[in-house]
Every structure is written in structure tokens, then in C-alpha cells.
Structure 1
């Protein structure tokens, strides 16, 4: 769920002007008012604040359920027997939406076991209602305390929900697919003897989102400006269905020295997309 950096709260309310002022007061003074109003509309500031206020007393999975209900999202689970048979796992999934997909996965796993945590970047930790579900991951530098919490989570008995791409899916050669998966989840799983539970999540964002991402890349811009629209994309998912498909757990002993962790991570990523058609698809590979 790392893409939701734009949703930053202050005093439990989303305030785009306060966010900008906190990061760069001079910038706030020069930004035209019409642009501020536009940003507020894009992130649905008023609507989100109303929803957060309504559910201010709900914490953890209760809050997740309430938000999914707000958007009238139906979560359908396939391969639940694979989830039930998994022991001490890291659930790794594609990240098609960048917001509600993460909540849908929390809900699906939370119905079976509530002892799970989700690695999150610093910004998402500002959502107080969900803070208990997260462990911090600082993308912009090292932090000894965060690293300690991260390792402690992997060494614990809790389930871990992980999006190895770090960003939501993009449109690549006409297909909605994750960017390359980072190997961290696998390296840690091997170190702490955790099985891999592969998960596929259905869904896609709008063509506008993908076209903007590709245009930004074509222009050579490094800032992921398309992320500004992720909240708007979230609202586009209203009244839709998200299908969570759990594949068969893969024993950590599978990932031996035949390949390095980057290669294994890439193969797991490919395997996840096969689950949409067959939750019981075997993890088949050829050594590189």
C-alpha cells in the first residue's frame, strides 16, 4: 500500500494545505489558490474527512471493514483452503489498485487470523486507526528502530502481508502488471524460515492513471505524479468486486542456491498471475 503517500493526516483530518505548509511553507505561499482547490478535489478531501470522522472510534480490522463498506466494495475470496493450510507465512501479492486492494487483503486474511502486520512507509503510519496493523518501512533512508521492528515482525509468529513491488501496478505493453518485485520479502523469509503464500488480487485503475504514468516516464520525470490521483482512483472502485485468490503455500526450502533471490522473486511474481485462473496452480520453474 505504499502508493498512498498523498493521504497524510494532521489531527486525524486530511488537510492538503497543512501538509504542504509542513513540508515547504514557502511553496504554499506561491501555489495559486485554484491549484490548491484542484488538489483538494483530486484527493476528495472533504469526503474523506467526513468518512474518517464517522469511523473515528473504529480501530484496526473494524476500520478496514468500515472503509470497504463505505466504498461498497465486495471482497470475494478464492483458494481459502490454501490460506487455512499456510503456517507462519509471508503473503506476497500483486498490487493492482494501490489502496483498497491492500484493505481487501487485510479483510480476507483477518477473517482467518487477526495476528498479522503489513510493512508500510512512514506516511501511512499517520493513519491512527490503522497504525496497529502496520510496521514502519522508511523508503528514504535507514532508521535503526524501523529496521528492528521489521526484523522483529519476521522473527515473530505473526502473519506478514507484503507487496513486493512497492508501488501499484502499471500498464506495460498493454498489460496491467506489477513492476519488478524487490527481493527483501524472500531474503527475510529465508532468514526467518517463513513459507511464501502467493496471492493474486483482481482489479485495475483507470486508463487516465496508466496514461499519465507512461507520459511522466516518457518525459523523464522521476516524481510519480500519477500517485496524486490514487485517492480519486480509489473512489472509482466504488460498487466493484475485488477477488482475492490464495495459491498453495511454497515451502521456504524451495528457494535454494539454484538461483539468487532476485531471480526467485521474479518467478514468484510470474506465478502469482497464474493464480487468477487456477488457485491450485503448482509453482513450476526452470533453473536459470
Structure 2
């Protein structure tokens, strides 16, 4: 444990509830807090952050992978595809099956060869201080970073913006990929590397998603299970498939909109699940449902 671990302020759910909604906090029974603490693995998270809150980004990411005891298997073009692009600015884009641990694992791998890489992340990750400076949180920050004269940063995108859900065909896929990563790659002359990550959330999470939508609740209440889903991965194997690089020249020659190319790259990502050696073909037909 770090000698500075005493400076870490542990997560305390009752205190947090009082700050967010004092009236609601008064009526929440103590047993409910205990259940939430178990569901959110508060004790284990507090112990981890007490030991690692002062780490730099790479050390922290490696510690997350180690703590979860994730066995990462890389297939397809493999780590060699990353080595081939070393020294370049690259756009990495991947599906998002779990909503968190796979991002930490991919970030850990990428950071070894691309130390200036940034994760395009949701704003809540600002609270994870070791990786805050290794993330960009909105379009404005991405634009500022990309326009900096000395910018050497690669970017890691999860273009769906959400973890994968059961779509209209009854199967689990990402929602439609937002085309901003293609737009940046085109403008900045950056190659795109698609990485497929195998896996999906438990059926319980998907049942809650369906229940919420049935009641027309917009708030994604099922995300409360994501921490527990992450810890269920402990000791498991995380399979990643690295696709072929899509060069700036290929993007130019494809002569298609950012939206259409994003749809094709999403399709390609899921084709890698079945055929890890598949090379991207601009003529691929996007057949996956959007919602």
C-alpha cells in the first residue's frame, strides 16, 4: 500500500446520499445501504483506491487488470498490428460489451506502445484521478487536443457511447456507432484500428433494460449493476481480436460518408468475432440493427 494512502477519502454511501438528496437520505433504511454497498463492492473499491489513488495512469491501469486477474488473449492481427503502427497517431475503436473493465484492459495494452494515448470517456471517469489526465471527456476537449501543434496523441473510442444491449433482432450488439471517430481520422490523417472484445453483460442487466424501456424510464437504472458485473469477471479470460488497419488512403478511396463508414466498421468489428483474420473490405454491407 502507498504511504500516502491516508489522503484517500473512502466512498461512504450514507454521507454521499446526504449530499445529493438529504430528504431522501433520511428515509433510506440502513439495510438498504448495506445491500448497495455489497452490490457496488464499496469495501473492495475503497481498499483498491487507498492503495492506488496516487498511481500514474499506466501503473493504475495495470493494477486494475492485475486486481481483476484478467487473462487477456489477443487474436487476429494481434499485438503485431499495434507494433506496426507504433510511433503514429492512431484511432482505436472497439465495441463495449461490459461498459468498463474492457476499456481499462485495452487502455493498458495500448498505453504500453502509445504512451500519449487518450481515452475518449464519459465524464464520471473524472473522479478516477490516476487516469483523469489520460482521458478526454467531450468534443471540445478532443478538438483542442487534436489541434495542438505538438499533439502526438492516439485516441481510444467506444463509438456506441454505451455498453452493448439486446437490440431489435434479439441479439446483443453495440448501439449504432457515432461517426465522430471517422471524422477525426479523416481530418487528422490517422489510421483506424478496430478491436473486437468478446463478452456480454448478464441476462439480469438486459432484463432490467427491457423493464425500464417498457415503463418508458429514460434513466439507465440498470447501470447500477455494472460494478458487480465487472467483479464477476475476476479470473476470467478476456478475448480481444485486432483487425486490419484502415489507412487514411483507404478512407479517401472509399469515398463514403462518415456515417456509412462508421456503420461498416461496426459491422466489421462484429465480423471479427467469427473470423479473427478478416481484413476490412470497404464493400462490406452493414446488416446489424441500429437499435
| Shorter-chain TM-score range | 0.7 to 0.9
Q: Which runs of 5+ in 2 are unaligned?
A: 1-6, 286-291
Determine whether 1:265 maps to 2:257. Answer: no
SS of 1:276's equivalent in the other structure is: helix
SS of 2:279's equivalent in the other structure is: coil
TM-score with structure 2 setting the length: 0.85
Determine whether 1:119 maps to 2:120. Answer: yes
* Cα distance in 1 between the residues matched to 2:92 and 2:16: 33
Which residue among 142, 159, 170 is the counterpart of 1:150?
Answer: 142
* Cα distance in 1 between the residues matched to 2:113 and 2:251: 27
Residue matched to 1:84: 83
* Cα distance in 1 between the residues matched to 2:270 and 2:120: 22
TM-score with structure 1 setting the length: 0.85
Per mean C-alpha deviation after superposition, the further-off stretch among 116-125 and 173-182 is 173-182
Residue matched to 1:202: 198
The 3 A distance-change label for structure 1 pair 199 and 215 is same
* Cα distance in 1 between the residues matched to 2:259 and 2:229: 31
Which residue among 204, 210, 214 is the counterpart of 1:214?
Answer: 210
The list of structure 1 runs, each at least 4 consecutive aligned residues, that deviate by more than 6 angstroms after superposition, is none
Shift of 1:135: 1.4
Shift of 1:101: 0.2
Which residue among 39, 43, 57 is the counterpart of 2:40?
Answer: 43
Aligned length: 270
Residue matched to 1:5: none
Which residue among 224, 229, 234 is the counterpart of 2:230?
Answer: 234
Shift of 1:255: 3.5
Q: Which runs of 5+ in 1 are unaligned?
A: 1-9, 138-145
Residue matched to 1:190: 186
Bigger radius of gyration: 2
Residue matched to 1:276: 273
Residue matched to 1:94: 95
Asked if the contact 2:116/2:154 (under 8 Å) is kept, the reply is yes
